[in-house]
Structure 1
Amino acid sequence: MKPLRVVVCPDSFKGSLSAAEVASAVADGVLDAAPDAVVTRLPMADGGEGTLDALLAVWGGEALFTETVDAIGRPTTARWAVSPDGHTAVVELAEASGLPGVADAPLQPLHAHTRGTGDLALAALDAGVAEIILCLGGSASTDGGSGILTSLGARLLGTDGEQVPDGGEGLASVASLDLSGLHPRAREVRWRLAVDVTNPLVGEHGAAQVFGPQKGARDGTADYLDDALRHWAGVLLQETGVTVAELPGAGAAGGVPAGLIAVLGAETTPGAVLVAEAVGLPAALADADLVITGEGSFDSQSLGGKVADGVARLAAASPTRPPVVVLAGQVLLPEAQARAAGIAAAFSIAPGPVDLDSLISRTAPRLRDLAAAVTSLATAARSAV
């Protein structure tokens, strides 16, 4: 019998282990039970925070560093990366323009911006890449992507012909766009935006109303920002002919996709799918016998474009259709729903009632033990055939 071929492709367990650490623990468990197994480790992410680290773990190499500014304009240094073939750059919005970077200061929902992320994208363009994957998540701003465009050379002008202020507040006074200074390669590269939400730019389910409160936009501020984004959508339509106000996913990360879709022709893709393609997961699944993925909490949100959902979809489309097993900190999704989504089984690392701190401290060994048990079952099933 040929050795068992196992693909290990988990997300991180936030607050406990990175995706690479989870993959390592699971792989160790597989090899405990089947020493001759062929194990492929592909740490995953859903396109939000942690995606850069997951890709670097697979690609190897080191992150690149660029001097830039955070979401409220303070000097900072942020990371980005280029694929081994030099074709693709990965920029994680949270690195320069995320909430964690401004956690030490009062929230500034009207003035926070994405200029810093634009600086990273500018560095990627200067590096000569043909594609930029922009991972959206953890944004501190609601600026409709205007900060990124400004860093790339666009000018948002008021009725007086002067540049409007950064941030969501400035969007309310934009009268026109001057794209004459846009980076010469900005419209030549392929922009792929990793998103994990389908919210439109404006309205009850839009960027300001749904995600604004966590960035400090409460009471009338969220309404103001919603109106500003609606005005911004009108300017984009006027200047580019592209309608973005109701576009699914345009409300991600404070509306970043809206500006980039209209001006740069960017496309949105579920983050887990983008990461899977970038790390070569579809090819790895082509001859797999077993797939083990994982995440901190396996629940109803897991089926909305998160890693487990993406892995299950890709496995179902692969030639061997390998069973997919989820290992999680907690399993809250009913078995019937999991099976309907293409998940063969889901197991919690919790051995019983246990407090969170104790569980976190034992995450790696529990993952290893569970992976060994799953592998033993898979090996027994193969022998019985």
Structure 2
Amino acid sequence: MKIIIAPDSFKGSLDAIGVAAAIEKGIKAAFSTAETVLLPIGDGGEGTMETLVAATGGKIKEMVVRGPLNNPVEAAYGILGDGKTCVIEMASASGLHLISEEELSPLKATTFGTGELIRQALDDGFTSFIIGIGGSATNDGGAGMLQALGLKILDDSGESLGLGGGELHKASTLDFGNFDKRISKSRFIIASDVQNPLTGPEGASHIFGPQKGASSEEVELLDRNLAKWADEILKATGIALHDRPGAGAAGGIGGAFQAFFPAEMKRGVDVVLDYIKLDEHLKGADLVITGEGRVDHQTAFGKTPLGVAQRAAGKNVPTIILAGSVGKGTEVLHEFGVVSIHSIINKPMTLQESMENASELLEYSAEQIVRAYFFHHIHEKGRLFV
């Protein structure tokens, strides 16, 4: 019996490695001789760098950069086992988790620190990049990142713009004189599941601004500012980002990559699954167990469980999902090879209790689920046969 364990993290509770370990413990309690393959993964958001570094035997380099509110923060980038590929999570430098709820300020939040990470990696000789752009606190259209890489964004008076999405309405001229020339000679894979355009009702500001602290008035202001920013980019590059799919990812940094970098945007989970070689591990597998903290209708929009199930279905391997909570709209997942979806909550408890006991709950659920799933392997003597 071969079981692939390929979960995402249970945010606020366990990282993907901890989730996979708990599931394996439950499987072994049921079938001690089962072959288990642990492939903790992410979908381009937080944890992706650590996942890829661990999967390839790479290493992590730490440094101090400007955080989303222009304060020093400790960030890092990963180096894959090939020694040639750099992995950056923008959340490491520009993430929502770096700001308290009381400090949220999308008008001021900047991607400058993400640019500093890229610049340092270029200084260190890297030309191949994977950049995950989930979990940002920003709505600056990637302007801060570009400024860190030498692009001068000037107002009508020729003065450089300040940092943050609140400044973009002043943009008048883009000066590429000092823009890092090494970028054009590098390759960037942008891991993102977001297909929203830069502006409008489905754009970065309207859809993601509120969760970053934007009031209804600030949402409208930010959207107008991004439209002005897109106008200037169109004049400078000939590339229209206003309605371009994916340009609204991570407060508009997706658009910056599309306009100024030799970049390819790919679904985050596919980037990770390719690097951990899931397709190869699926050979001879009997079952895949994946999961994340909450599974609902949004899971079908490219999140980890969906990506895993799609790959497994392509190899005729069934998938079971474990989740902290299960919301509405999950029935669509059965169309992608998901056999069943299970909440690990086994009795009345608070959210805090479930998060504190996630490891034990995952272990118990995994044991019971594989016992039920492999019931047909019961030996004639009444023992589970594996």
Q: TM-score, normalised by structure 1?
A: 0.92
| Counterpart selection for 2:22 from 22, 25, 48 | 25
- Counterpart in the other structure of 1:364: 359
Is the Cα contact below 8 Å between 1:303 and 1:341 reproduced in 2?
A: no
The change in CA–CA distance for 1:248 and 1:382 in structure 2 (over 3 A counts) is: farther
**Cα displacement (A) at 1:333:** 4.6
The change in CA–CA distance for 1:139 and 1:334 in structure 2 (over 3 A counts) is: closer
- Counterpart in the other structure of 2:120: 123
Partner deviation per Cα, 1:135-160 (whole Å, 9 max, x = no partner): 11222221101111111121112233
Check if 1:52 corresponds to 2:39: no
Secondary structure of the residue that 2:185 maps to in structure 1? coil
- Counterpart in the other structure of 1:65: 62
Task: Measure, in 2, the Cα distance between the counterparts of 1:295 and 1:214.
Answer: 20
Task: Measure, in 2, the Cα distance between the counterparts of 1:112 and 1:185.
Answer: 26
Is the Cα contact below 8 Å between 2:11 and 2:293 reproduced in 1?
A: yes
- Counterpart in the other structure of 2:382: none
**Cα displacement (A) at 1:334:** 6.0
| Counterpart selection for 2:307 from 282, 298, 310 | 310
Partner deviation per Cα, 1:342-380 (whole Å, 9 max, x = no partner): 201112211133322332233212222222233334444
Task: Measure, in 1, the Cα distance between the counterparts of 2:299 and 2:122.
Answer: 34
Task: Measure, in 1, the Cα distance between the counterparts of 2:147 and 2:376.
Answer: 58
Secondary structure of the residue that 2:347 maps to in structure 1? coil
Is the Cα contact below 8 Å between 2:59 and 2:80 reproduced in 1?
A: no
- Counterpart in the other structure of 1:339: 334
- Counterpart in the other structure of 1:164: 161
Aligned pairs for 1:45-124 (under 5 A) are 45-103=42-100, 106-124=103-121
Secondary structure of the residue that 1:192 maps to in structure 2? strand
Task: Measure, in 2, the Cα distance between the counterparts of 1:90 and 1:383.
Answer: 46
- Counterpart in the other structure of 1:375: 370
Check if 1:186 corresponds to 2:175: no
Partner deviation per Cα, 1:213-267 (whole Å, 9 max, x = no partner): 2333223322221111111111111111212111122111110011111011322
The change in CA–CA distance for 1:324 and 1:169 in structure 2 (over 3 A counts) is: same
Check if 1:261 corresponds to 2:258: yes
**Cα displacement (A) at 1:85:** 0.4
Moved more, 250-259 or 31-40: 31-40
| Aligned pairs, number | 380
Secondary structure of the residue that 2:196 maps to in structure 1? coil
Partner deviation per Cα, 1:55-74 (whole Å, 9 max, x = no partner): 33433454211121111211
Task: Measure, in 2, the Cα distance between the counterparts of 1:356 and 1:72.
Answer: 30
Task: Measure, in 1, the Cα distance between the counterparts of 2:57 and 2:86.
Answer: 14
Secondary structure of the residue that 2:364 maps to in structure 1? helix
| Counterpart selection for 1:139 from 132, 136, 139 | 136
The change in CA–CA distance for 1:336 and 1:49 in structure 2 (over 3 A counts) is: closer
Partner deviation per Cα, 1:109-157 (whole Å, 9 max, x = no partner): 2222100011111122222233222211222221101111111121112
Task: Measure, in 1, the Cα distance between the counterparts of 2:24 and 2:66.
Answer: 39
Q: Output the amino acid matched with 1:337.
A: V
Aligned pairs for 1:188-337 (under 5 A) are 188-318=185-315, 321-333=316-328, 336-337=331-332
Tell me how large the CA RMSD over aligned residues is: 2.2
| Counterpart selection for 2:37 from 35, 40, 44 | 40
**Cα displacement (A) at 1:335:** 6.8
Task: Measure, in 1, the Cα distance between the counterparts of 2:335 and 2:109.
Answer: 42
**Cα displacement (A) at 1:9:** 0.4
Is the Cα contact below 8 Å between 1:19 and 1:44 reproduced in 2?
A: yes
Q: TM-score, normalised by structure 2?
A: 0.92
Task: Measure, in 2, the Cα distance between the counterparts of 1:220 and 1:359.
Answer: 37
Identity %: 38
Task: Measure, in 2, the Cα distance between the counterparts of 1:307 and 1:138.
Answer: 15
Is the Cα contact below 8 Å between 1:20 and 1:57 reproduced in 2?
A: no
Task: Measure, in 2, the Cα distance between the counterparts of 1:83 and 1:155.
Answer: 32
**Cα displacement (A) at 1:336:** 4.1
**Cα displacement (A) at 1:313:** 1.1
Secondary structure of the residue that 1:89 maps to in structure 2? strand
Task: Measure, in 2, the Cα distance between the counterparts of 1:34 and 1:189.
Answer: 48
Partner deviation per Cα, 1:66-107 (whole Å, 9 max, x = no partner): 121111211222111110102321111111111222327633
| Counterpart selection for 1:151 from 142, 148, 153 | 148
Moved more, 297-306 or 267-276: 267-276
Task: Measure, in 2, the Cα distance between the counterparts of 1:211 and 1:332.
Answer: 21
Secondary structure of the residue that 1:13 maps to in structure 2? coil
Task: Measure, in 1, the Cα distance between the counterparts of 2:339 and 2:199.
Answer: 38
Task: Measure, in 2, the Cα distance between the counterparts of 1:217 and 1:333.
Answer: 27
Task: Measure, in 2, the Cα distance between the counterparts of 1:174 and 1:226.
Answer: 14
Unpaired runs of at least 5, structure 1 = none
Is the Cα contact below 8 Å between 1:174 and 1:232 reproduced in 2?
A: yes
